[in-house]
Structure 1
């Protein structure tokens, strides 16, 4: 989707007067104008200088879904998905787990308060669908006096035992699961183990296994005597059936809506609850009186901000999109958020699920409400537009606590799949105005080490959500390892200028190995302009190592020969290959020059034993580092390459390039011994530059030019002042050859970090700047 370019700019929002100024490494882009598809629906998120310090708060025991799951995304340590504080002054926090337990937490120690799965066995169901199970709990604002709280869970009709209870409304046909809201009344509200009574309040049927009831909650800003006090809000998804069905816009069904009910009332269906007379559609023909807002796909976490603009509490909702948009809405009674006719502020066409389109000229007359903040998806090239690309928002909270003034007025939320903490300013989230810019916060542990969420969870899929206690303190909740962290401080987080200003428009590919594709950890996201996703061949996720090459880098990849005694296609390497040319690398067609840069650490025996011969004392005559293939390559031939190869019987560090596909290559070799240039177990920054118009090549080590010589006499490139062949490279290879994994001739027992591919030859000054930027 969007083409990223490198830049550094002062963001439009200040965190505090103390000047935590957000910076960016991504260009803010806008949607394509005109009647055609939208190519880039939302501005890119900006990396901020706001850093959050996380302190581990609690570790929860392992739980298992019921029945045993087949979807790996449900195979988590514990499916904890929220945190709140009991409204009784006790300081006890509560945490629901989708697999059944409701925990109370005191001093960081969780104890089971109520086992929802056991209470509703054998119908309780949490083993299919990402949101199935014990979805949420909320305690009545008067819990201290009345002991009342509410839960929502899913049941599988006919799963076992007697026939299920009838739904509150006629179910969709067929019905896959029921979402059930239950009221509980504790005999002793101060007890740490529930004992009391329960009753069913509401039961809804859904045809699919996803997008049921995500959250139920009370408005904590409502005081006794306020109209909203004691009214229960329910975020009801479309059941996964919102595309092309009209269900989210159908006022006669609860699916795809926010509902508001009075659990103490009796004028609803069956007398189990009441319908607040102030609800916006009460008395409207054909409309359910419970409806508060409509047009939703997968509403995922809502909250209130008591100190919103004009002192009017604001309700913010995170909304998970279908194709491209993750959105935050400012919710008011009667809103229509447009799904399935709109995704974000664009037209969604069920007949074309792969594109979004501009709004029609008469859109203002249609009454839709659009996001106050949003970000879009960046799926890998060739990724199916109907497949999950690994983005999902989880709504958060506006910080109004006292301990972290840098966060005051900041709405923080998460991308639950990627494990990113994002934020914007409440004051900039204006209904009817332009969407507020979204920023990404940096994360630190209490030792001052900057980390990504993977480093906290040990899992590429963090399943990250946010919670808040009654003091306004914020918590991060991860299903991946069943841990909760409290945000205990903020710091200024330097955003490194990762590329010199003069080179920012030339970065075709940039792999820092900190950005795995969430749907497949064996794929690395390209942060350069081309978005050429990189495959970690053979080793997959196991190739990722917690060993950064320079300050600010936490991770790298390990490359190695797997079995030195047996020929086989099992060596760990990285790359991408397409015999027709990798379309996303078209920026390297006919270029005047190229640069290959990256960090290397030798970690084993190099060169490796030659597995293609019978003699165990034979070794390969090369060690592959990194390069770009030519337009006619078999997986070995290159246009530009960093490598260690044999020159006149001696291994040397070289830059090897080819101007014309099928033509001769030229090699520039370092004079100095390669083992001195690349000492064992030491990170070294290397660069090779290629000027195809002049035939000049150069090598650099740690920002300094490496003296060397040209290996081939004469003019093997046939230099005529023009660039390389106007063909698209067939791929990238890192740590060896043949990224299509058909064979291997030069494995590397080494680690690699931050590989950069540029579409021109960098100057000596620019290479030195690049090295200094990373190491300062």
Structure 2
């Protein structure tokens, strides 16, 4: 059954590839669905974050028993930041209603403001973003005591209160922005006044108000200083029904980023100002508060505090695409006509389509980075695939040099940690070029590899980034209400075994081949001259030779040059690097191949008394592909395999890259010997050097 599934998935991947490479203008360009919009997966970075748990916020409950099990979390904390008053106090909003202050040194928290208690119609019982969504402190909070909250109301509010901007038909929820003024900004609990600034009506229970914030780069006297930005979702179903098309409608606020002046009064309700430099200010029939538009669920935005101070938005997609956009005044992200750089069709809930030939005339703002969902082959197109992006920010802090210039972000659901290089995040009007996305590992403070699912204690992590005033990153999870600070970085498989050094071992008496007659040892090379044949027992490499000189090795770093002598027109050609070798049915190997489209190729495997098992973290079973092919020609290639026996980390590097081609985490074997071989191809090895620690 497994082989049948791989065959099916491979066929789907090949069809997707054929569709996406059709020439411009071909009839199928507008008619054929794209089965795999973004074939490239996030690549391993070889870098990990060291995480220290600093707090667990109190358990909380929604405003009423939820019907959606995804709302049944320890709590619903969704951000951590630092007050702009040099007090060192962190703040944490909980969607279920409380605003907490958190002591950075002790990790102790207390309620600063009960937002839920301040509003009788407060609602957080349905919808993943409903409740007390966000808080933003005015840059002059130390002097004026002002801060702003976004929350959701329902119930009596729907009949007793009126939205300020055009509501959606069949409004069921109000998103509300309030301004609070503390009598004493230094106080540890709030006492003061508040006033409502803005109320927006939404039809659905999802994609309501998301983030609100101030531009940290703006200084007193700048046009942007003190202007409040708000990301406003499409209310759910912004592509169909009564509110279909709202994100493209400049006459309504849904599906937009808004920008207002809380200190002004020229808005329709007189409670705030509409900045004159907003792109649509003063234009008839258009909402002057709009800064950018065309959005489904604009989850998180941030400004780079270095570089050219660009604004970035993490946008949660519908079908397939989780995207990052650079946002400028007047930009149109494209929803619901586009999802990422693909055509969204309202008559097809299962696929995206290529862009039309005349797409340039629309001037959509396509992603500077993106990844897709890769749903399983049996996905029914209506269920949640378990992916959603949560944007972080470009790291410009001082404590973690390895992260500088990287835009850090997460997948909310599965807890993956990722980044892109800010320098590679460039706008492309055609939507073809995007920055490479890299995956990050995670470690506890003892250096043990961990995952965010493990740290959160749940397969659904509900993970988000925050930061302090110095730009140092924090992570927080709703699953268990915990907050971790990133206290360091660590190289993946970064052990440095140096006690034993093996080199100049090319002579035949140093090697033990499976079939000696198939091997040649001319002096500076080890040559597999004849292809091997399948042998009885578990499925494993057919022919290899093990280096028998020296001690049995523990952690090891293997450096060598390899060459494939099988003709390049044979796509499934391969060589292998053996390590952790115990005997003929117990060892690891790294498979280096021209092909990455089927399970046995181009990956890291373990043979443990049974058929070889793939253990690398790059295999995408839903799309039947692994890491990009490692060897595609007849040239020599430099290969490094690092195996850290203590942690189980394995990394494979090719041609001097600082980032691994493949990684794995497995503790089956903590010692063994190294070797070289293939399944049924021929090749050779030279310049072998092994640094290792003796087996214990």
User: What's the TM-score, normalizing by structure 1?
Assistant: 0.63
The question of whether the paired residues in 2 share the 8 Å contact of 1:509 and 1:528 is answered with: no
Moved more, 472-481 or 31-40: 31-40
Matched, 1:420 2:419: no
Residue 21 of structure 2 is aligned with which of 18, 21, 33? 33
User: What pairs up with 1:179-328 in 2 under 5 angstroms?
Assistant: 179-244=175-240, 245-308=244-307, 312-328=308-324
Cα distance between partner residues in 1 of 2:152 and 2:217: 29
1:387 is displaced (CA, Å) by 2.1
What CA distance in whole angstroms lies between the structure 1 residues aligned with 2:176 and 2:648?
Answer: 46
Partner of 1:539: none
Counterpart check, 1:127 vs 2:125: yes
Does structure 2 retain, via aligned residues, the 8 Å contact 1:281–1:291? yes
Please give the alpha-carbon distance, in whole angstroms, between the structure 1 residues aligned to 2:231 and 2:78: 15
Using a 3 Å threshold, how does the CA distance of structure 1 residues 529 and 451 change in structure 2: closer, same or farther? closer
How many Å separate the matches in 1 of 2:6 and 2:17? 8
Change (3 A) 1:56 1:180: same
Identify which range, 325-334 or 235-244, moves more after superposition. 235-244
Tell me how far apart the structure 1 counterparts of residues 665 and 228 of structure 2 sit (CA, whole Å).
55
Tell me, in whole angstroms, the C-alpha distance in 2 between the residues paired with 1:41 and 1:331.
Answer: 23
CA drift at 1:153:
0.5
Q: Deviations over 1:277-309 (max 9, x none)?
A: 00001132321100000100000111101222x
Within-5 A mapping of 1:439-454: 439-454=438-453
State the match for 1:466 in structure 2.
465
In 1, distance between residues paired with 2:46 and 2:18?
Answer: 23
Query: 2:75 & 2:409 partners in 1: Cα distance?
Result: 21
Give how far 1:494 is off.
Answer: 2.9
Alignment partner, residue 330 of structure 1: 326
Which residue of structure 2 lines up, in the alignment, with residue 92 of structure 1? 89
Q: Deviations over 1:93-133 (max 9, x none)?
A: 11100001101111221111001111113x11111000000
Alignment of 1:150-189 (within 5 A): 150-158=148-156, 163-189=159-185
Which residue of structure 2 lines up, in the alignment, with residue 750 of structure 1? none
Q: Match for residue 135 of structure 2?
A: 137
- Kept after mapping to 2: 8 A contact 1:5/1:529: no
Tell me: CA distance 1:762–1:192, structure 2 relative to 1, closer, same or farther (3 Å): farther
Which of 96, 102, 112 pairs up with 1:105? Answer: 102
Task: Identify if the C-alpha distance between structure 1 residues 392 and 199 changes in structure 2 by more than 3 Å, giving closer, same or farther.
Answer: same
What's the CA shift for 1:525?
A: 12
Number of positions where the alignment pairs a residue of Structure 1 with one of Structure 2: 527
SS of equivalent to 2:344: strand
Quick one: structure 1 residues 450 and 508, their matched pair in 2 at CA, closer, same or farther if it must change by over 3 Å? same
Q: How does 1:359-438 map to 2 (within 5 A)?
A: 359-432=355-428, 434-438=433-437
Aligned to 2:629: none
Choose the corresponding residue for 2:65, options 63, 68, 81: 68
**Counterparts of residues 653-732 of structure 1 (less than 5 Å):** none
Aligned partners of 2:54 and 2:485 also within 8 Å: yes
CA distance in 2, matches of 1:306, 1:527: 33
**Alpha-carbon displacement from aligned partner over 1:354-397 (angstroms, at most 9, x marks no partner):** 11111112111111111111111111111122321011000111
Query: How big is the shift at 1:488?
Result: 0.8
Q: Does 1:482 align with 2:478?
A: no
The CA deviation at 1:78 is 1.2
The 1:2/1:298 distance shift into structure 2, 3 A limit, reads farther
Whole-angstrom distance in 2 between the partners of 1:169 and 1:506:
52
- Inter-CA distance 765–448: structure 2 relative to 1 (3 Å threshold): farther
CA distance in 1, matches of 2:442, 2:270: 49
1:422 and 1:305 map into 2 onto residues whose CA distance is 17
Deviation readout 1:5-57 (Å, 9 max, x if unpaired): 99xxxxxxxxxxxxxxxxxxxxx989812312223222211011111111112
Distance 1:504 1:65 in 2: 50
Task: Measure how far apart 1:508 and its partner are.
Answer: 2.6
Q: Which residue number corresponds to residue 501 of structure 1?
A: 592
- Alpha carbons of 1:188 and 1:31: their partners in 2 closer, same or farther (altered >3 Å)? farther
On the 8 A contact 1:5/1:504 being kept in 2, the answer is: no
The answer to whether the 8 Å contact 1:5/1:528 transfers is no
Q: Does 1:352 align with 2:348?
A: yes
CA contact (8 A) 2:167 2:252 kept: no
Q: CA deviation at 1:218?
A: 0.6
1:410 deviates by 0.7
2-side partners of 1:336 and 1:130: how far apart?
25
The Cα of 1:499 is off from its aligned counterpart by 3.9
Higher relative contact order (CA 8 A, sep 6+): 2
* Residue 264 to residue 3, structure 1, CA distance change in 2 (3 Å): farther
Secondary structure of the corresponding residue to residue 73 of structure 1: helix
Residue deviations 1:608-630 (CA, integer Å, cap 9, x gap) = xxxxxxxxxxxxxxxxxxxxxxx
- CA shift, 1:505, in A, is 3.9
Q: 1:284 to 1:404 in 2, by over 3 A?
A: same
After superposition, the C-alpha distances for 1:304-336 in whole angstroms (9 at most, x for unaligned) are 01222xxx3111110000001000010100000
Q: Are 2:9 and 2:623, in contact at CA under 8 Å, matched by a contact in 1?
A: no
Kept in 2, the 8 Å contact 1:507–1:529? The answer is no
Question: 2: CA distance between counterparts of 1:208 and 1:31?
Answer: 35
Question: CA separation in 1, counterparts of 2:265 and 2:278?
Answer: 15
The verdict on how the C-alpha distance between 1:704 and 1:334 changes in structure 2, with shifts beyond 3 A counting, is: closer
CA distance in 2 between counterparts of 1:444 and 1:4 reads 37
CA contact (8 A) 1:704 1:764 kept: no
User: What is the DSSP-based 3-state SS (H/G/I as helix, E as strand, rest coil) of the residue aligned with 1:459?
Assistant: coil
Question: Cα offset for 1:683?
Answer: 5.4
- State the distance in 2 between where 1:386 and 1:287 align: 34
Please give the alpha-carbon distance, in whole angstroms, between the structure 1 residues aligned to 2:178 and 2:277.
Answer: 24
CA distance in 2, matches of 1:76, 1:550: 36
Q: Does 1:51 align with 2:44?
A: no
Alignment of 1:572-583 (within 5 A): none
Give structure 1 regions of 4+ aligned residues with deviation exceeding 2 angstroms.
1-6, 28-31, 494-499, 502-513, 524-533, 549-554, 682-685, 701-705, 760-766
Structure 1 unpaired stretches of 5+: 7-27, 514-523, 534-548, 555-597, 601-681, 686-700, 706-759, 767-771
Which residue of structure 2 aligns with residue 697 of structure 1?
none
